[in-house]
Amino acid sequence: MGMSGVLVPPSKLLPLVFFLGFALEISTAAAYSRGDFPAEFVFGSGTSAYQVEGAAAEDGRTPSIWDTAAHSGKSKDNGDIACDQYHKYKEDVQLMVDTGLEAYRFSISWSRLIPNGRGPVNPKGLEYYNNLINELVSHGIEPHVTLFHYDLPQILEDEYEGWLSRKIVDDFTAYAEVCFREFGDRVSHWTTLNEVNVFILGGYDVGSLPPQRCSSPFGNCTSGNSTSEPYIVAHNCLLAHASVARLYKRKYQAKQHGLIGLNLFVYYFVPLTNTTEDVMATQRANDFFVGWFMDPLVFGDYPSILKKNAGARLPSFTQQESDQVKSSFDFIGLNHYTTLHVKDDPERLKAKQRDQLADMGATITDEMIHTDEYPIIPSGMQGSLEYFKQKYRNPPIYIHENGQVLPRNSSLHDTSRVKYLEAYIGSLLDALRNGSNTIGYFTWSFMDLYELLSGYETSFGLYFVDMEDPDLKRYPKLSAYWYSGFLKGDNVTSYVISEAQGKPFPVKEL
């Protein structure tokens, strides 16, 4: 989503910040430290292929639906070059080492590895991912790999409309097998689909995300059907995930000793008022946003309210499909950023033509995210994890994304991001102490990159990437120092941030 705000040109910003620097003084009255988390708990940071790699047309890579969307005229930015991690991966891994990352979450570009969507593997693509994985492993950093992050090969979209067709199940499974076979000896954490709920709602309901399908009055697209396609795509995504998980467990897990899961975007929903209607609407919002996937994965079928409100538009599982989808995960990945309010809205159910959001019979108030930065509501982290604990039998969970959005280039002195991370990691610790089965946490994102909705206008990065520098130089922000200190054992609680004259930003001293 686009964020407003005054942006300072990096050419004016960087010299000032670089030569002044900042000192981060940590109070000795600690609230928590890395040592308060289990030793096996993993901390990392993440990116995705199209957002950082660049080299979009190099070495045999073909376009994905994200390339197409970025060049459709609806976006002024694209990922053609992005952060150029394709060429700068060694430098970036060294930054991860300096920061103290224990793990790095990234995605594989399907169209870089298998340019035709199926069939021959691209040797250059294979070489790149082997090199990146080897570089990480050699420095003691766990690779956590996502197979699909909004970037289906365009050739499959053109051939059979991608995720709308059951054909995707076989092609996605074949692609996943290449990844397991080629990288599974070093990669032991696999995620099939990234925030599949948002991918579907954005891509097939409102049309704001690739592949930009929707229908009036729910969005303005050249093709699509917002009333039925989200449910069809979700069903195919669940079947494809289950197929890949079944393959991994049957053929690779015993010898590679890895884990496989699915990732969802999760808001913490709070009733706008304490009326029974708003409380019930909040549960419906959870069922439509989260239960849409979690109920089949845990219980083998969709929530009853989805069946009731969507009717014949919601596909049904055969008994065999239900059995395959149920328990087809070793962990669940969650992307959590903020808390939203829910208000009962029964009028939406009276419309003759309804999309998935209208079927919810509720209004989600999003005024809190139409600002330059997310409000800091850390209770939403603990609340979300408590919900999964209570509702879905406390599955193993990775927080795959969590971070603060700010206008890009605004400052390396990102105190708001430091406060955000401190608060949310603290709330995560509270959830663990209350019995949550969370096993890892990743900030979004490791560096400023090409964002899904806002391009290069906003950023989540611990590292600033100077897009005006031909070499795309990376600079650590205050948040990189804070996170690095935490990862290396510093106690964190209240802090004082002050300028330190004459002290540059020495990355190697992180």
Using the structure block, give the residue that is written with the tokens 């304490």.
Answer: 274
Burial 478-490 (b: 16+ CB within 10 A, else e): bbbbbbbbbbeeb
Using the structure block, give the residue that is written with the tokens 């994905």.
Answer: 64
* Bridge partner list, 210: none
Rounded-to-integer distance, Cα 10 and Cα 121, Å? 40
Tokens encoding 120: 């021959």
Phi-psi region of 5 (alpha: psi -120 to 50; beta: other; left: phi over 0): left
**Sequence-ordered list of residues with C-beta below 8 angstroms from that of 172, at least 6 positions apart, any chain:** 147, 148, 192, 240, 243, 244
Cβ atoms of 416 and 404 within 8 Å: the answer is yes
Tokens encoding 352: 């003759």
Examine the residue annotation and report whether 401 is marked as an active-site residue of this protein. yes
Residue 369 DSSP symbol: G
Using the structure block, give the residue that is written with the tokens 């948002």.
Answer: 198
**Sequence-ordered list of residues with C-beta below 8 angstroms from that of 509, at least 6 positions apart, any chain:** none
Q: What is the DSSP string of 282-349?
A: HHHHHIIIIIHHHHHHHHSS--HHHHHHHGGGS----HHHHHHHTT--SEEEEE---EEEEEE-GGGG
Q: With residue 353 as reference, give the H or E element that holds it.
A: none
Q: Is 226 helix (H, G, I), strand (E, B) or coil?
A: coil
Tokens encoding 106: 């990234």
Residue 120 DSSP symbol: S
Radius of gyration of the chain (CA): 22
Q: With residue 156 as reference, give the H or E element that holds it.
A: helix 154-160
Residue of 135, 142, 161, 401 marked catalytic: 401
Rounded-to-integer distance, Cα 194 and Cα 265, Å? 8
Is the link from the previous residue into 407 a cis peptide, with omega within 30 of 0? no
Q: What is the DSSP string of 71-104?
A: TSSS-S--SSSTT-HHHHHHHHHHHHHHHT-SEE
**Sequence-ordered list of residues with C-beta below 8 angstroms from that of 255, at least 6 positions apart, any chain:** none
Residue of 142, 195, 229, 422 marked catalytic: 195
Question: Looking at this protein, which amino acid is placed at residue 170?
Answer: D
Strands 406-407 and 458-459: antiparallel
Cβ atoms of 242 and 171 within 8 Å: the answer is no
Q: What are phi and psi for residue 440, nearest 5 degrees?
A: -170, 160
Q: Count of residues for the chain?
A: 510
Indicate which residues carry an active-site annotation.
195, 401
